[in-house]
Amino acid sequence: MDNQTNLAVSSRTEKKALEKAKILQRESDREVFLLVGRILKKTEAERSEEEASVLLLHRNLVDELIKRQTRRNELKRKQEEVFDDADELKRKVRQLAVAVQQAKHLVVYTGAGISTAASIPDYRGPNGVWTQLQKGRVFSSSDLSKAEPTLTHMCIKMLYQDMLVKHVVSQNCDGLHLRSGLPRHALSELHGNMFVEVCTHCSPVREYVRLFDVTERTSLHRHGTGRRCSHCGKELRDTIVHFGERGTLETPLNWKAAAEAAKMADVILCLGSSLKVLKKYACLWCMNRPADKRPKLYIINLQWTPKDDLAVLKIHAKCDDVMNLLMKELHIHIPVYVRVDDPIFSLATPLHPDEQHSHTRALIARHDVIDDIIDPFSDLQQPSESQQVCGGWFGRGYGKGRKKKKTA
């Protein structure tokens, strides 16, 4: 009995000693790590002989720290915005104009960068949603339904009307392509539309276009809007596809038309997208074909994209600036957005009397109202740490992929 007790005590003592040794080793490794890091920040001329000896002794750690710094520098480079000078921009736009004119089946892919001129922030730019959240700030947004189509939206509509563009594939949920006058059959909104709610219980799926942001109470995996289908009485849901979700709705996502357009495309023009999400959709890039059989790729974006190396031309400029020059080269008039002619008014389904208070968003008005005199996006431009993201789609999904802390 005594032998068993002594063995148990000895075993516990050994475990404690082992754990203590591990802790001391981790502390020692951390001290070495910090020391080597401090030395590497100095130039070779500034390092003493003793410091040089430390680097030689811990060569593997030095290599690892250099690799980490290289990765950080590369990431920082990719996040920087680059602008082409005026002459370079004009030369590139002329090259793009030739490609647009010669294209037999031009498809346009659009991202958040085409809506920044409407005061809707992008996601990965210097002041983007993800960028701000990574800095520990709580990003805010006002009622995004007050935004209006930008010059780029109107240009794309005109290019479609002139039969130079065959289809538009958008990642944006702001509905501005639809409001610019682009026909619905020519548009695939892969991540949904903030003005559209649907009844998935009806067959075919029944669609309701509203004059306000229907995503006010929705979020990741929670799509019910609280309103009911006028035909079957079931709860309606929004059409937003959040990070971590798979969009299956036929409209407004229109995946079938997007895949068909990509298959027929000989030129793809990417406007204002980082392509970090779009690159994952293999059907949009025809990568199963030989390189010379794939669509020619043209990219307009201020930052690096994962498709830059495959592009025939990369233009570093704001979308509105490029499209303004492009339309001049093509001798196409750019119409001004007129709110009274917005197609959303003819597409919208009015609420039932008992649904009038089912949302707190202001309706899109046909004419300017007094509230529009005040800049509705003032809080977008200067986010406050105390403000919260409004709506069920804007800025959501930042926490995807992070390990959730286990709670008791």
Could you list the active site residues?
191
Helix (H) or strand (E) holding 238: strand 235-238
- What DSSP string runs through 180-195? HT--GGGEEETT--TT
Of the candidates 345, 350, 363, 355, the residue with the CA atom closest to the CA atom of residue 145: 363
- What DSSP string runs through 292-345? GGSPEEEEE-SS--TTGGG-SEEE-S-HHHHHHHHHHHHT---PPP-GGG-THH
Residues 106 and 330: their CA atoms lie apart, in Å, by 15
Give the number of C-alpha atoms closer than 13 A to the C-alpha of residue 246, restricted to the C-beta side: 3
- What DSSP string runs through 50-118? HHHHHHHHTHHHHHHHHHHHHHHHHHHHHHS-----HHHHHHHHHHHHHHHHH-SSEEEEE-GGGSGGG
- Residue 298 pairs in a beta bridge with 269, 313
Residues 308 and 312: their CA atoms lie apart, in Å, by 9
Residues 107 and 295: their CA atoms lie apart, in Å, by 10
- Residue 108 pairs in a beta bridge with 168, 269
